[in-house]
Structure 1
Amino acid sequence: MLNRGIGSWPARRARKTPDRVAVVHEDRTLTYGELHERVLRLAHALRALGVTRGDRVAYLGPNHPAFLEGLFAAGALGAVFVPLNTRLAAPELAYNLADSGSTVLVHAPEQDGTARAAVAEAGVPHRIALAGPDEDGGLGYEELLAGAGTDPVDEAVAPEDPCMIMYTSGTTGRPKGAVLSHANITWNSVNVLVDTDLSGDEVTLVVAPLFHTGGLNMTCLPTLLKGGRVVLLGTFDAERVLGLIEDLRVTYMFGVPTMYDAIAARPRWATADLSSLRTLNCGGAPVPARTIATYLDRGLAFSQGYGMTEASPGVLFLDREKASEKAGSAGVPHFFTDTRVVGPDGREVGPGERGEVLVHGPNVMSGYWGRPQDTEAAFTDGRWLRTGDIARIDDEGFAYIVDRAKDMFVSGGENVYPAEVEDAVLDHPAVAECAVIGVPDPVWGEVGRAVVVLRPGVRADRDDILGHLTGRLAKYKIPKSLVVTEALPRTPSGKIIKPAVRDAHAPAPAEHPHP
């Protein structure tokens, strides 16, 4: 084959195991042979719309076979896939669509209104609706596939070619698109196969959203590469997860801590048949010690790791053999990935000392889409990616993430960057100054708190100011509390001193791992 990217995976799997089940979604199953045929049809349909090498194809919707079909079809054409976060508001989606220059958006019925608004604002030429054609010019997904051919598609795609643009919020307040190549994603999958011992009989429950690298690249794609079965769940429901584990004999899944806490809180947790599970992988947010203990006490192999979108995402991983002995650690680097923990002077720190985590490997992104300056700033010596997260290493080389990037906090597995939220709050006519910080929350880990200074002579309350953000920001980004203060602490140059804001308006965060 000329195509050496992941767009060739369905064809390569179909020639090896065409009758093996690849995807399960609700009451529908697709074999590898059927998946390959649908990918070919979609590739031909996209080509008929003018999609060629390098063009961007976006997808908006919950976990669904069409997500994977879109990813592979784009890869078959040498195009670039752009997964979009379903939790974003229409203006945020429009920015991502315009920034990436996407020419096609495929979307699910649940996002119909948001998709139409975002496409109109961004000027995307083609909108494909999973629900079928509509009066606003949306093309029908299944109708397009039914009218397309199944002739082989074998474009020359190199491993270094861009495969995907994954948007991650930036500290400047605007999201940045991490460009992940076919090689990045392939090597990340190889790391997972080596470090978690996935097998061809794997039954992987994909309940974390595919628009995040954790759900897509740590569970779904490695399973498909190995020839296992992925079970796609569109929305998280703890009771249904337990039922699927029992009924389908699930062997592997990934989730964020809030998901695992919700599962363990179900009444049937103590009696559910979980004997099929081989590995439970947890990441994306700080993992409380009580969560780890709950699963280890149940006799389950509970592994955690640390990663970031820019690394596809795997950086560190604690395998199941060490899950109990090293509980709380994010582990050691993935097999083909290297890390360093360095101090402010750039030198590696000793055991027990703290330093910033740097990462290098074939899974690390080539850069940010259309942002050469941000790309240059993200790397040290042009080679090592700066994570902005702080770790300590024990005597055996196991890493413990003890602090996070300067201002970012994690709410329910979602990264929240205060600058973006602050910009939106400052648009309210009553607000003169604003600082957003993360504060502890028993359900979401952390939630936002807006600390604001009102304009002289103006009055406004919490509901008025925070209500102003509805529809402008995703719900998880909107602060859950608001404090009005006389002034915000600033440096002589005028910059807000965030540590001082936290000291005054939030309890000191406990030191705990950030996998």
Structure 2
Amino acid sequence: MNLGFALTKSFLKNPLRTFMVDDTRSYRGIDLMVAGMHIADTVDAKTSLPRVGMLIPTSGVFAAAAYGVWIGGRTAVPMNYLLDEKTLNYVIKDCGCDLIIASRKLIEHIGFIPKVKTIVYLEDIDFKSLPSPRLPKFAATNDLAVVLYTSGTSGKPKGVMLSHGNLLSNASQLHEHIHVGKSDVFLGILPQFHSFGLTGLTLMPMLFGCKAVYTARFVPKKIVGLIKKHRPSIYLAIPSMYNAMLTVKDATAEDFASFRLLISGGEPLPEDVRTRFADRFNQPIVEAYGLTETAPGTNVLLPSDDRAGTVGRALPGVDLRIVNPANGQVLPHSTDGELRIKGPNVMQGYLGLEEETREAFDANGYFKTGDMAQIDADGFLKITGRIKEMMIVGGENVFPREIEEILNAHPAVHDSGVIGQTDSMRGEVPIGFIELEEDQTVDLGEIKQWCRDRLPGYKVPKRIEIIDALPRNGTGKIMRRALSPKLEPAKA
């Protein structure tokens, strides 16, 4: 089975069902099918290469374009339209495409024309005419469906190769774990070039006959309006989005009463945000875990689990183990080690990077996540930090996340980032950067005392600085490495 056949089957089964609603229109099964055929015809006429780039904002037409690429027997390469010109052109060259399907409005918005032979503008396609009837071209389960580029928090973006089988497996795993039904309505805010948005908010509605509501821009007050209008049941977002929802002064618990599942992913959910959201809207936020390399989901905490602070149990078919990263030895329950993953959703490798692909897997075929974690006796996974971000302070292992949780809990702090700085006495020391809540001022001595009252001495930041905005990537994740240049000059 491949995505082209699976989606065609779903659309034919539900031709008049509304699958998607975005900022401009709604899309029934037949609408997505016809639009996809038009796009497949257009791409066929303009390129013979196997990979097709996509620069399209979060919308129903993104889904139609991806479907069109797949029924044409090609590989979709959704691209991050928030990248700078140099990086985007690097991605285009690296993936080897000579054609991009794009929104003209989006190209005008980003302010430059990507360096590619052909740009097919969606606005120029006559979607109202009848397309050439066609069946999806054959693609094997292990053939590539998408190449998704990592956000590049540590160097150049890498193309993660995901097969039809990877994506179909993960959609099915999520479907089984969170019990998606046709009556469910997804609220889609996350970009579809991100694996979380692609699998969770695009493929799942199309494959399982439910509905997704999209908007291209995250404006908290507008989101509350969409919730009131469409009464969604499942919301997938990142922590900063949940935090921003708390700023909508007239939002009430009744507005959020339609939800049965609020899932947070992409980065750890601050305990302060979890608590304030539950107190105000009477809704628990549960955490999920995954990576681009795992298509992406591996774990989702369910509200009935009552294990806040964990990311839940593994999805069906996902095999997790915690190992000593130095020697690969499997560690006992509730012991910190590197999380490694095996399953049908795990990537085929990194495009054009054979050595990095080999290094990404251990001798037993498990993907090395680079995340430090522990699994308890009941199978619940807790992420404790990134191996590369771990500081060794006076011989003690320290992860940024624990310090950031404390900083973020201060009423004046909107968000924070912590990195290590070399220190002649202790090897490394933590340095904190804080982004304040709107219209807030604070004494940094007070913030340090706040940390002293809640952390062991060696975990208290040696220095704390206020910055206007923390550096983030296209999915909202804090880029800690971008904070490093701010260490100079040092301040007392």
| TM-score, normalised via structure 2 length | 0.79
Identify which of 302, 307, 329 aligns with 2:310.
329
3-state SS in 1 of match to 2:114: helix
* 8 Å contact kept, 1:191–1:335: yes
Stretch of structure 1 that moved more, 331-340 or 393-402? 393-402
User: What letter corresponds to residue 337 of structure 1 in structure 2?
Assistant: V
1:129 aligns with one of 118, 121, 136: 121
Matched, 1:176 2:180: no
The aligned counterpart of 2:282 is: 299
Q: Which residue of 2 aligns with 1:466?
A: none
CA distance in 1, matches of 2:41, 2:159: 27
Q: Secondary structure at the match of 2:487?
A: strand
Contact 2:253 2:282 in 1 (8 A): no
The one-letter code sitting in structure 2 at the alignment partner of 1:119 is P
2:66 counterpart residue number:
71
2:26 alignment counterpart: 29
- Structure 2 distance, partners of 1:406, 1:476, is 15
Answer yes or no: is the 8 Å Cα contact 2:314–2:379 preserved in 1.
no
1:246 shift after superposition: 1.4
- Other structure's SS at 1:102 match: coil
Q: How well do the aligned residues superpose, as a CA RMSD in angstroms?
A: 3.0
1:42 to 35, 39, 63: 39
Partner of 2:75: 80
- Give the conservation status (yes or no) of the 8 Å contact 2:81–2:110: no
Alignment of 1:111-510 (within 5 A): 111-113=106-108, 117=112, 119-120=114-115, 124-130=116-122, 132=123, 140=124, 142-143=125-126, 145=127, 149-169=131-151, 173-297=155-279, 298-322=281-305, 325-343=306-324, 344-381=326-363, 383-407=365-389, 439-442=432-435, 479=483, 482-485=486-489
**What TM-score, normalized by structure 1, do the two folds share?**
0.75
| Of 2, 5, 12, the match for 1:15 | 12
For residues 309 and 127 of structure 1, the distance between their equivalents in structure 2, rounded to whole angstroms, comes to: 26
**Judging changes above 3 Å, is the alpha-carbon distance between structure 1 residues 326 and 271 closer, same or farther for their aligned structure 2 residues?**
closer
Over residues 198-244 of structure 1, what are the superposed CA-to-partner deviations in whole Å (9 max), with x where a residue is unaligned? 10111111101111111121232112211001111101111111111
For residues 166-185 of structure 1, what are the alpha-carbon distances to aligned partners after superposition, in whole Å with 9 as ceiling and x for unaligned? 00145762211000000100
Amino acid at match of 1:82: V
Decide whether the 8 Å contact of 2:32 with 2:63 is kept in 1: no
SS at match of 1:306: strand
What are the Cα deviations for residues 297-331 of structure 1, in whole angstroms up to 9, with x where unaligned? 33324221111100001122211211xx2101011
| Distance in 2 between residues matched to 1:342 and 1:362, nearest whole Å | 21
Partner Cα separation in structure 1 for residue 302 and residue 307 of structure 2? 10
Instruction: Give structure 2 stretches of 5+ with no counterpart.
Output: 391-399, 405-416, 420-427, 438-470
The change in CA–CA distance for 1:397 and 1:220 in structure 2 (over 3 A counts) is same
Counterpart CA distance in 1 for 2:46 and 2:431 is 44
Ranges in structure 1 where 5+ consecutive residues have no aligned partner:
133-139, 419-434, 445-468, 486-503, 507-515
Change (3 A) 1:64 1:395: same
Query: Alpha-carbon deviation of 1:442?
Result: 4.6
Task: Assess, with a 3 A threshold, how the Cα gap between structure 1 residues 388 and 480 changes in structure 2: closer, same or farther.
Answer: closer
Q: Which letter does structure 2 place at the counterpart of 1:243?
A: G
Displacement after TM superposition at 1:394 (Å): 2.3
Q: In structure 1, give the amino acid aligned to 2:98.
A: T
Give the number of the structure with larger relative contact order, counting CA–CA contacts within 8 Å between residues 6 or more apart.
Answer: 1
Which amino acid counterpart does residue 336 of structure 1 have in structure 2? G
User: In the superposition, relative to structure 1, how do residues 172 and 34 fare at CA in structure 2: closer, same or farther (>3 Å)?
Assistant: closer
Change (3 A) 1:148 1:367: farther
- 2:104 and 2:301 map into 1 onto residues whose CA distance is 38
